[in-house]
Amino acid sequence: MSRSSYDSARELYAALGVDTETALATLARTPISLHCWQGDDVGGFERAGATLDGGGIQATGNYPGKARTIAELRSDLDAALALIPGRHRLNLHAIYGDFGGKKVDRNAIGVEHFQSWIDWAKQRGLGLDFNPTCFSHPLANDGFTLSHRDAAVRQFWIEHAIACRRIGAAMGQALGTPTVTNVWIPDGHKDLPADRKGPRERLEQSLDAVFKEQIDERVHRDAVECKLFGIGSESYVVGSHEFYLGYAVTRKKMLCLDMGHFHPTESVADKISSVLQFVPGLLLHVSRGVRWDSDHVVLFDDVTKALFEELVRGGFLPRTAIGLDYFDASINRVAAWVIGTRNAQKCLLAALLEPSARLRDLEAAGDHTARLALLEELKTLPLGAIWEEHCRRANVPGDRAWLPTVQRYEREVLALRR
C-alpha cells in the first residue's frame, strides 16, 4: 500500500474529525497477550506426549506440525510475532514450565521453572501473563478443584494457585510490566445438581485463601474468569458469571470476560460498561464461539468490532488487559496466531478510527437518523489503507504478503515434525 493511499485515507477520516496518527499511535502502544496454548493444542510440557484430558476443554483437529517441546513452541511464537505489528505479550499456563524432564507436581512449581521464559521474554521486550492449570490432572478428574468436597483436594489446588500468583509476580518484577494471573476452574456438573450452594461457598473460601497474600499491583494483577458451561459441566458451573462478578466487586479483582463463555445471543460488549462501573479492571479473552465455547480463530467481524468499540467509546483501554484464547488444531497453528491477532488489532483500529465524539453529539441531540447513517457510512471508509500503514511502520508484511512466509516456515520447519 503506497503512502499516497494512506494520505488519501487520512484526509477522508480527518473530514470526520478523526486523527489517524493518534489512532495509529494508540494501536502501536496497545499490547495483545498471545496465548501459548494455540501452538501445541493445550498439551504443555509436564510430561512427554501430554494430551489434553478433562476439565471441559477440547482442541479439535490434527493439522501436522504442532509444537512438541519448549524450543519448538518458542520458534513458532517467534515466527508468528515477526508477522504481527507492534510489541505484545505472551500468556502462559502453568503446565508450560521448563521442568527439565523432572516430575514437578502443580503445587510445587516455582519461579525457577519459568526463568527461561522470563529470559526469553526479556530478550524480545515482551510482557508475560499467567494462569493456574486446574485441569488435565488426576486431582481434577472428577471435574472439581477449588470447590471440591474433599478439603485435601481443595488445599492442593489452593497451593497451586498461590504458587502461580508468586510466579506471576516474579515475572512482572523481572520484566517491568505487571503480569495478569487469571484463575479459571472447570468445576461443575454434567447433570442437574441437588446442591448449588455448597460448591460456591467452598469456592469463595478457597479463593480467599488463594488471594490472602497481598502482592504489589505494580508487578501483578489478579483476575477471575466465569463460564456458562463446559464439556462435562453442561448443567451447572460453580464459577458462574454472577458468582465471579460478585467476587470481583467485593474483593476488588479484575474480571475476565471470555467471548466464548456466554450464551451465543449474549453481547459481551454490552457487559463492559456495566462491569467497569464496579470492578477495578477488566481482562478480555478474545475468542470466537460457534454454537458453543469452541474457541475458533478470531475474525474481523461485527461481534469482535463491537467489543473494541466499547473499550474505545468508554475510555476503558487503560483499565483493560486484552488477551486471546482460542486453539484451532485444524489449520496451521502459526497462521492461526497471526490471523487472530491481526484481526483483533484491526477491530481495535476500526474503533479508534470512529468519530466517537460526533456520534455522541448526534445521540445527545436526539438525531438518531444521522447517527445510524454515519455508522453505516463508516463501514466503507478505507480502513485497510490505515492498517497497511501500521504494518509498514512496524516493518511487518501487510495483508496478502504475510502468508507466504508462514507457508515457507511450514515447509522448512513444521513439516519435519511429522
* Host H or E run for residue 166: helix 151-175
Of the candidates 207, 146, 186, 200, the residue with the CA atom closest to the CA atom of residue 293: 186
Looking at 41, 204, 295, 388, which residue is catalytic?
Answer: 295
Which amino acid is residue 332, in one-letter code? N
Other CB atoms within 10 A of residue 277 CB: 9
Looking at 93, 285, 305, 346, which residue is catalytic?
Answer: 285
Active site residue 295: yes
* Host H or E run for residue 394: helix 383-394
Which residue shows C-alpha cell 468445576? 187
Q: Tell me how far apart the alpha carbons of residues 368 and 69 are, in angstroms, rounded to a whole number.
A: 55
Active site residue 53: no
Any idea how long the chain is?
A: 418
Q: Tell me how far apart the alpha carbons of residues 230 and 364 are, in angstroms, rounded to a whole number.
A: 42
Looking at 40, 41, 46, 293, which residue is catalytic?
Answer: 293
Active site residue 263: no
Q: Tell me how far apart the alpha carbons of residues 418 and 414 are, in angstroms, rounded to a whole number.
A: 8
Active site residue 258: yes
Other CB atoms within 10 A of residue 318 CB: 8
Active site residue 160: no
Looking at 325, 328, 389, 410, which residue is catalytic?
Answer: 325
Active site residue 234: no
Residues 169 and 216: beta-carbon distance below 8 Å: yes
Looking at 225, 310, 354, 389, which residue is catalytic?
Answer: 225
Active site residue 363: no
Which amino acid is residue 69, in one-letter code? T
Q: Tell me how far apart the alpha carbons of residues 117 and 90 are, in angstroms, rounded to a whole number.
A: 10
Parallel/antiparallel/unpaired status of strands 220-225 and 179-183: parallel
Looking at 37, 117, 184, 337, which residue is catalytic?
Answer: 184
Q: Tell me how far apart the alpha carbons of residues 349 and 24 are, in angstroms, rounded to a whole number.
A: 8
Q: Tell me how far apart the alpha carbons of residues 313 and 310 are, in angstroms, rounded to a whole number.
A: 5
Q: Report DSSP letters for 227-283, one per residue.
A: -S-BTTBSSEESS-HHHHHHHHHHHT-EEEEETTSS-TT--HHHHHHHHTTTSS-EE
Reading the block at residue 119, the C-alpha cell is 529470559
Radius of gyration, alpha carbons of the chain: 22
Active site residue 399: no
Active site residue 293: yes
Looking at 227, 241, 271, 305, which residue is catalytic?
Answer: 227
Residues annotated as catalytic are: 184, 225, 227, 258, 261, 285, 293, 295, 325
